[in-house]
Amino acid sequence: MERRGASFSGSLVYLLMNFPLGVTAFVVLMALVPAGVGTAVVWVGLPVLMLVFLLLKGAARVERARTYALTDTFVAMPYLPLPEGGHWPRWKARLRDAQTWRDLAYFLLLFPVGVAEFCLLVGFWATSLGLVGLPIYFRYLPDGAWYFPRWDDLRWITVDSTVEALPWAALGVLCVALSVALTKAMAALHTRFAAALLGPTARRRELLEDELVERELSVTSR
């Protein structure tokens, strides 16, 4: 993984996209994988599983491109060259390739990870912006005041004037700065997660380098 630094806007868009993408991937995989495995014994499921492999590889390529476009983090392609000899040897190679299963693990985990990231992101930003705008909107709340907490008779803090709201707005500005830092940190963590599953392992990198050397020697010897 090669990282050059991500902007705040890119990090924010990257994280917000993880939730819908994770839900979509989880639904598709949960529909296709059990159907393919369950009917593989009668050969009906084999085309379904082949479709899953193609979708996984294509989705992983798109995810690597999205990661690079939004966070400037390059995740190398980890796939070994497919053997020659027809479709069946190629499908067997894909099935035996550990990267296929690592791609599957990434898109299954993207759902819970995306949900957690979305909840943290929305929670921090809603709180921060809510505090910053408190001097403007508190008078439009019920009773013309903001209470914290607001459960039954528990109203330890009451804000019913602009003067009282300004310190909370200042705290909100600090929270915005913290939210910006949190957004970039969460995006950086997710790129590491993506690189760990979608990128080459140390062993795979060695195999790819050996394959490249063999190809160069083969071309040179001709």
What DSSP string describes 180-196? HHHHHHHHHHHHHHHHH
Question: Going by C-beta distance under 8 Å and a sequence separation of 6 or more, which residues neighbour residue 78?
Answer: 99, 102, 198, 199, 200, 201, 204, 205, 208
- Stretch among 49-58, 72-81, 112-121, 149-158 having the lowest mean pLDDT: 149-158
Per-residue pLDDT at 66: 96
Q: What does DSSP assign to residue 201?
A: P
- Contact call for residues 118 and 110 (beta carbons, < 8 A): no
- pLDDT of 174 above 80: yes
- Per-residue CA distances from 103 to 86, 174, 184, 197, 200 (Å): 24, 39, 24, 6, 11
Cβ atoms of 11 and 187 within 8 Å: the answer is yes
> pLDDT tens-digit profile of 84-100?
766 666 677 677 778 88
Amino acid letter, 81: P
Average confidence (pLDDT) over 70-74: 92
On the 0-12 / 13-18 / 19+ scale of CB atoms within 10 A, 181 is exposed
Residue 146: what are its φ and ψ, rounded to 5°?
-110, 130
Q: Write down the pLDDT at residue 20.
A: 96
User: Cis peptide leading into 149, omega within 30 of 0?
Assistant: yes
The lowest-confidence range among 125-134, 201-210, 212-221 is 212-221
* pLDDT of 34 strictly over 90: no
Let me know the angle formed at the C-alpha of 187 by 69 and 190, rounded to the nearest 5 degrees: 95
What distance separates the 2 farthest-apart alpha carbons in the chain? 87
Q: Which of 154-158, 172-176, 208-212 has the lowest mean pLDDT?
A: 208-212
Residues 142-159: pLDDT tens digits?
A: 888 888 765 555 557 788
What are 216's two structure tokens? 């160069």
Specify the residue for token string 């590889």.
57
For residues 117-126, b (16+ Cβ closer than 10 Å) or e, as one string? bbeebeebbe
- Is the model's pLDDT at 218 over the cut of 60? no
Q: How many Å apart are CA 168 and CA 135, to the nearest integer?
A: 8
Q: Alpha carbon 164 to chain centroid distance?
A: 40
Q: What is the mean pLDDT of residues 157-173?
A: 91
**Alpha-carbon span 195 to 210, nearest angstrom:** 21
> Does position 194 have pLDDT exceeding 50, yes or no?
yes
pLDDT (0 to 100) of residue 216: 47
Q: SS3 for 119?
A: helix
pLDDT greater than 70 at residue 43: no
Share of the chain above pLDDT 70, in %: 76
pLDDT confidence of 52, banded at 50, 70, 90? Answer: confident
